[in-house]
Every structure is written in structure tokens, then in C-alpha cells.
């Protein structure tokens, strides 16, 4: 399991707005399924056809699993998670599968709750909201958190795509091929 931070996200009309509001180069986050055992489990359970880098992500209208297109690879930064054990990865991957099975909805109203202004207008959230709806970076953050490792000392709804890399546990890796 690795974390992915996207500089560009094809088909996402809000990418530029997210980058502008966060004043960062990132607009989307996802989880890379790079463990061979887990990749085989995802492919078998969900009858996934194709090849390449398999990811799970929160994207409108709900959690989905897919292969990255070769054209996306140059726009993605990869981060391994320091201290993530095999047992933690198993728990995190199981949680991701549960979210896909539950068809956890993309949280349109949560989209900008990682910023204080929208939270003041829309109201505070809580760390259990992910059970009903989530955004991409919240999903990636929780994939690791549900495994037993908290990347940052903050609420999951406060995590925007640019904040995942702030974690001392997020270690930059080479680009995907």
C-alpha cells in the first residue's frame, strides 16, 4: 500500500479549484495496491480486467477501483508509509474493500471542509462521517489510519491532498512506471 498524490486528475472539473484553494500542486489522492497478494485479491473479488498500477480511490459518485492510465503516471507522486507493517496493510486494505462494498459516497458537501472557512459555513464534521461519505484525501488518510497508523495529528476531514505528504511517515518514492 502506497499513497498517491496527483498533480492532475483526468476528468475532474474541480482539480484547478482544489489546487488554488490549497495553494499546492496536488488536486487528488488515492491508494496504490502494490502488494501482490492484495492486488490478486482485489482482481479476483471484483473481476478487474486490465494491467498496470491498480488503485482504490474516492471519486464521485463513490469509492472505485481501477488501473491508472499510462498518461496519468507522470502527474502522480508516490509515497510509501514508514512503519506500515504487513498486519497494518491487511487491516487497511480490508477497510478499503469494505468501503467499496458499501459504495461509500463521495462527500460533495465535504469537499472543502479541509479549509476552516467552509467548515465555519457548513459546520464541523466528525471522524465518523467517513462511514457515509468521504473525499479522496480523507479516504487515503483513513486507509492507513484503519490499519493502525495515524499519518497526522488531525481529523480526517481536515486532510486535503497536499497534506498527506506532510506526514513524517510519508516517504517519497520513484514515479510509477
Show me where the domains of the chain are located.
2-173
- What's the rounded mean pLDDT across residues 37-58? 96
> What distance in Å separates the CA atoms of residue 66 and residue 58, rounded to the nearest whole number?
11
- Lowest-pLDDT choice from 66-70, 85-89, 92-96, 154-158: 154-158
Which SS3 state, helix, strand or coil, does residue 6 take?
strand
More confident residue, 106 or 104: 104
Rounded (10°) angle between helices 86-102 and 136-145: 140
Per cent of the chain over pLDDT 90 is 62
Which SS3 state, helix, strand or coil, does residue 115 take?
coil
Is domain 2-173 given the CATH code 3.40.630.10 in the classification? Answer: no
H or E element, residue 119:
helix 116-122
pLDDT at 85 over 90: yes
122 pLDDT tier (thresholds 50, 70, 90)? low
More confident residue, 140 or 24: 140
pLDDT at 143 over 70: yes
2 has which bridge partners?
32
Which among 65, 73, 58 has a CA at the least distance from the CA of 43?
65
Strand locations in the chain (E):
2-6, 28-32, 54-59, 62-67, 76-81, 105-106, 133-134, 170-173
CB count in 10 Å sphere of residue 70: 11
pLDDT at 162 over 70: yes
60 pLDDT tier (thresholds 50, 70, 90)? confident
8 Å CB contact between 96 and 143: yes
- What's the rounded mean pLDDT across residues 21-26? 81
> What distance in Å separates the CA atoms of residue 106 and residue 132, rounded to the nearest whole number?
9
21 pLDDT tier (thresholds 50, 70, 90)? confident
Which grid coordinates are listed for 145? 489510519
- What's the rounded mean pLDDT across residues 77-92? 98
Which among 36, 100, 43 has a CA at the least distance from the CA of 67?
43
- What's the rounded mean pLDDT across residues 84-92? 98
Amino acid at each position: 500500500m502506497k499513497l498517491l498524490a496527483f498533480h492532475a486528475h483526468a476528468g475532474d472539473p474541480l482539480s484547478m479549484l482544489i489546487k488554488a484553494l490549497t495553494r499546492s500542486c496536488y488536486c487528488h489522492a488515492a491508494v496504490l495496491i502494490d502488494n501482490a497478494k492484495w492486488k490478486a485479491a482485489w482482481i479476483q473479488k471484483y473481476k478487474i480486467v486490465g494491467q498496470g498500477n491498480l488503485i482504490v480511490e474516492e471519486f464521485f459518485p463513490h469509492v472505485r477501483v481501477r488501473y491508472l492510465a499510462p498518461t496519468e503516471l507522470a502527474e502522480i507522486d508516490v509515497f510509501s508509509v514508514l512503519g506500515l507493517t504487513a498486519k497494518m496493510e491487511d487491516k487497511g486494505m480490508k477497510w478499503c474493500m469494505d468501503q467499496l462494498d458499501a459504495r461509500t459516497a463521495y462527500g460533495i458537501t465535504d469537499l472543502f471542509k479541509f479549509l476552516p472557512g467552509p467548515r465555519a459555513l457548513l459546520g464541523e464534521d466528525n471522524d465518523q462521517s467517513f462511514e457515509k461519505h468521504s473525499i479522496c484525501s480523507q479516504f487515503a488518510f483513513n486507509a492507513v489510519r484503519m490499519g493502525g497508523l495515524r499519518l497526522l495529528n488531525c481529523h480526517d476531514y481536515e486532510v486535503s491532498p497536499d497534506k498527506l505528504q506532510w506526514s513524517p511517515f510519508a516517504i517519497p518514492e520513484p514515479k510509477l512506471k
